[in-house]
A = this chain, B = another copy of it.
């Protein structure tokens, strides 16, 4: 049976893993696989005036989404977009300055943003167009992932306006609990609408990036991460969205196990510090994804392949998607990516 068979359509390996199946060679993709480590990405990026325009150009965004799929045997592609498109859709200005992180303008009132939350999908329909283009060009045995930044992570950027000091948002959470809870709810509503639109446009799985979960105390993590994730997933299910959902509570440490138990995600993405035992515990009920250190991928050498073997050994008995624990770094040698993919897929990759 081949994946192109018109009669017996095979579920893409990535999606079957999210249904709880394990594979002799697990499905694999890399966070930020459409990125600056690829010369063909840099060539397209150079034609866009700025990063936000790039995200909103479906032709270019679809092209860079597909680039790593042509070059490598990845099992899934993730739409090229940014977690800060939602603040823009809610009326907060977002821009990127060369060599620096994102910058955000003043945050609009929660009331004015609440009025826009239900229209987030419409406001970001160009991301949907990218998804539709990618899905039509992608092999049927490859899966397409849509995503959004999770509410707390997006809120940290909205509150700090791009400062790299994340403590301001946590202080805001302590000092203005009602305002923060209202902001989180606006983001929950906007995220539901945005992700539902992505599924309508062709996304076959969704991922919630909670990139700034670290340092939160247990009660704050419950209030700002676990509960909003539950509300988003329940909201999507209520709208008839049935695709699998992966949650990525990066840096949440010992709180990840409880997150996995209580949040109705199908998959939990692990960060670089996840223990073998944590992954195995979660695998009793969910699929796990992760968690190779991008610094090790960049460094390469014997230590890299040894670590890949360890991860396969410890986690590939259960439902598992091979990935990094954080995004691939811009100066990662392509040969290192190929070496890892050979090990994971068991097939010759590259020259």
Residue ranges of A at the interface with B (Cβ–Cβ < 8 Å):
167, 170-171, 174-175, 177, 214-221, 251-258, 271-278, 291, 293, 295-296, 298-299, 301, 303-304, 307, 310, 325
Neighbouring B residues of A272 by C-beta, 8 Å: 215-217
18 contacts between A and B (CB under 8 A): A170-B295, A171-B299, A174-B295, A174-B296, A174-B303, A174-B304, A175-B299, A215-B272, A216-B273, A217-B273, A217-B291, A218-B275, A221-B273, A251-B273, A253-B254, A254-B254, A254-B274, A254-B275
Whether A303 and B253, one on each chain, are in contact in the complex, defined by CB atoms closer than 8 angstroms, is no
Whether B254 and A273, one on each chain, are in contact in the complex, defined by CB atoms closer than 8 angstroms, is yes
Neighbouring B residues of A298 by C-beta, 8 Å: 171
Q: Which 7 A-B pairs have the closest CB atoms?
A: A253-B253, A174-B299, A254-B278, A254-B275, A253-B273, A170-B295, A175-B299
Whether B254 and A310, one on each chain, are in contact in the complex, defined by CB atoms closer than 8 angstroms, is no
Copies in the complex: 2
Residue of B nearest to A216 (CB): B273
Whether B303 and A273, one on each chain, are in contact in the complex, defined by CB atoms closer than 8 angstroms, is no
Neighbouring B residues of A252 by C-beta, 8 Å: 253, 273
Neighbouring B residues of A174 by C-beta, 8 Å: 293, 295-296, 299, 301, 303-304
User: In the bound complex, how far is the Cα of B47 from the Cα of A232, in angstroms?
Assistant: 56
User: In the bound complex, how far is the Cα of B291 from the Cα of A298, in angstroms?
Assistant: 35
What is the distance, in angstroms, from A310's C-beta to the closest C-beta of chain B? 7
Neighbouring B residues of A273 by C-beta, 8 Å: 214-218, 221, 251-255
Whether A175 contacts B253 in the complex (CB less than 8 A), given A217-B293, A219-B310, A295-B167, comes out as: no
**Further pairs besides A217-B296, A254-B254, A254-B257: 8, Cβ < 8 Å:** A170-B295, A171-B299, A215-B273, A217-B272, A218-B276, A251-B253, A254-B275, A254-B277
User: In the bound complex, how far is the Cα of B304 from the Cα of A301, in angstroms?
Assistant: 48
Whether A275 and B255, one on each chain, are in contact in the complex, defined by CB atoms closer than 8 angstroms, is yes
Whether B255 and A219, one on each chain, are in contact in the complex, defined by CB atoms closer than 8 angstroms, is no
Neighbouring B residues of A216 by C-beta, 8 Å: 272-273
User: In the bound complex, how far is the Cα of B299 from the Cα of A291, in angstroms?
Assistant: 35
Neighbouring B residues of A278 by C-beta, 8 Å: 254
Neighbouring B residues of A277 by C-beta, 8 Å: 254, 258
Neighbouring B residues of A219 by C-beta, 8 Å: 307, 310
User: In the bound complex, how far is the Cα of B330 from the Cα of A167, in angstroms?
Assistant: 14
User: In the bound complex, how far is the Cα of B320 from the Cα of A96, in angstroms?
Assistant: 47
User: In the bound complex, how far is the Cα of B251 from the Cα of A271, in angstroms?
Assistant: 12
Whether A217 and B307, one on each chain, are in contact in the complex, defined by CB atoms closer than 8 angstroms, is yes
What is the distance, in angstroms, from A116's C-beta to the closest C-beta of chain B? 29
User: In the bound complex, how far is the Cα of B322 from the Cα of A279, in angstroms?
Assistant: 31
What is the distance, in angstroms, from A82's C-beta to the closest C-beta of chain B? 22
Residue of B nearest to A302 (CB): B177
Whether B251 and A254, one on each chain, are in contact in the complex, defined by CB atoms closer than 8 angstroms, is no
Neighbouring B residues of A276 by C-beta, 8 Å: 218
User: In the bound complex, how far is the Cα of B79 from the Cα of A54, in angstroms?
Assistant: 54
User: In the bound complex, how far is the Cα of B259 from the Cα of A253, in angstroms?
Assistant: 14
Whether B258 and A275, one on each chain, are in contact in the complex, defined by CB atoms closer than 8 angstroms, is yes
Neighbouring B residues of A275 by C-beta, 8 Å: 218, 254-255, 258
Neighbouring B residues of A271 by C-beta, 8 Å: 215
